[in-house]
Amino acid sequence: MFFGDAKDIKDFIFVTLGTGLGSGIVVNGNLVYGHDGFAGEMGHCIVIQHGRQCGCGRKGCLEQYCSATGLVKTYLEILAGNDPENSSKIDRGIINAKYIYDRAMAGDEDAFYAFNYTGEILGFALANSVVYTSPKAFFLFGGLANAGELLLTPTILSFEKNLLSIYKNKIKIVVSGLPENDAALLGAASLAWNELKTIA
């Protein structure tokens, strides 16, 4: 709202796709805190019942599928399913989100499908979140969002497919323009400035 592309938008959701999945929800120009300050934990919405174990103690949380860590898990599962014998010989130490991105761009179908699956789940989760706040936009941020169309295309397709009809073609999903190295500092400064305004 202060430094990025949401300066003229009062209702939006900011989603960080890094090692985990973080989010911030803005309604009518105000960050949603909830009654205890913990609102906006979209990463811990369950998207796959009885799915992957999450660090929060539950299973099937969004961040276990739509994060850099989740992408690696998906890719390894695909490799194991396609060729169990060879997958056991893979050096898992070299496989990260950047490796999978490079493989996908080089034409690796397994890597491409891993991004496609990740986007499908992300789009589904974003579509479900729309009914709570009716945001004008979603801003995706973080290392995984830097995959660009490789992630955006399946995300948007899944998003529109799963949206309630009254919201279709009204909400944009874009990659945030905030500089990645400065985002945390800008966020902290914005929060402090916003709180000072409410005191004044």
Give the predicted TM-score (pTM) of the model.
0.91
Greatest CA separation found in the chain?
65
Inside any domain, residue 187: no
Inside any domain, residue 183: no
The reported pLDDT for the residue numbered 159 is 98
Inside any domain, residue 186: no
CATH assignment at residue 135: 3.30.420.40
Long-range (24+ apart) CB contacts under 8 A made by 181-185 are: 183/141
The reported pLDDT for the residue numbered 22 is 94
Inside any domain, residue 101: yes
Inside any domain, residue 99: yes
Domains of the chain: total: 1
Inside any domain, residue 91: yes
The reported pLDDT for the residue numbered 154 is 98
Inside any domain, residue 110: yes
Inside any domain, residue 52: yes
Q: Which two tokens stand for residue 65?
A: 């599928």
CB 21 within 8 A of CB 66: yes
Question: Which residues neighbour 85 within 8 Å (Cβ) at sequence distance 6 or greater?
Answer: none
Domain of 112? Answer: 12-176
Please list the rounded mean pLDDT of every run of 10 residues in the chain (200 residues).
Answer: 85 95 94 92 96 97 98 94 70 90 96 98 98 96 94 98 97 88 79 74
Taking the C-alpha atoms of residue 125 and residue 137, their distance in angstroms, rounded to an integer, is 14
Q: Which two tokens stand for residue 100?
A: 């999978």
The reported pLDDT for the residue numbered 188 is 83
